[in-house]
Amino acid sequence: MPESTAAAAEKVLEAALAETGARDPRDFYRERLRELKRTHPDEYQRAVSYYTDTLLPEVAERRRDPLVAWTEYGRRLAEALAPGRTVRIDDSGRAHPYDAPAADGLIVHLPDDKGARALLVSLPRALSASQRATYDVLVSGKQRTGTDADLP
């Protein structure tokens, strides 16, 4: 991948983050990548290939909204770690099938393994009380709600 593609993609993403106030997902996606590398090396290689061959060029060349593209990458990482289904949690705390990210939606991946915690895919700019409770229980495994300082 040419350095210019990575730099251009980063510039486009940074502009979208600044314009929308959306949260930068890259830190928790890096954590998912480290976990994939450790536990599923073949899936890790597929994720890296998707990143270099699909994600960065799509974002750099503006073929896809950068926030949508990155959210899809996060969904793919979660699915590679734990097969299951991805859902969008609305302001009221109700789950809806994931189709495309919404600025106010909490996106989580629910593994088929019922004992596993949900994997965070995308956070809205601000969580509603219901989304916060859902995050705390499903992602963090807490029985009491925390504060936004607890979020990645």
SS3 label, residue 63: coil
pLDDT for 7 equals 95
Please state the φ and ψ torsions of residue 84, each to the nearest 5 degrees.
175, -145
Please tell me the distance from the alpha carbon of residue 2 to that of residue 136, in angstroms, as a whole number. Answer: 40
pLDDT value for 101: 66
DSSP 120: E
Considering the entire predicted model, what is its pTM? 0.87
- Both tokens of 137, joined, read 């229980």
Q: Which two tokens stand for residue 141?
A: 């495994």
- With contact defined as beta carbons under 8 Å apart, do 108 and 89 qualify? yes
Per-residue pLDDT, 90? 94
Instruction: Give the phi and the psi of residue 46 in degrees, each rounded to 5.
Output: -65, -40
Residue-level pLDDT, tens digit, the chain, 152 residues:
556 999 999 999 999 999 998 889 898 899 999 999 999 999 999 999 999 999 999 999 999 999 999 999 999 999 999 999 999 999 999 999 998 767 678 999 999 998 899 999 999 988 999 999 999 999 988 766 555 556 65
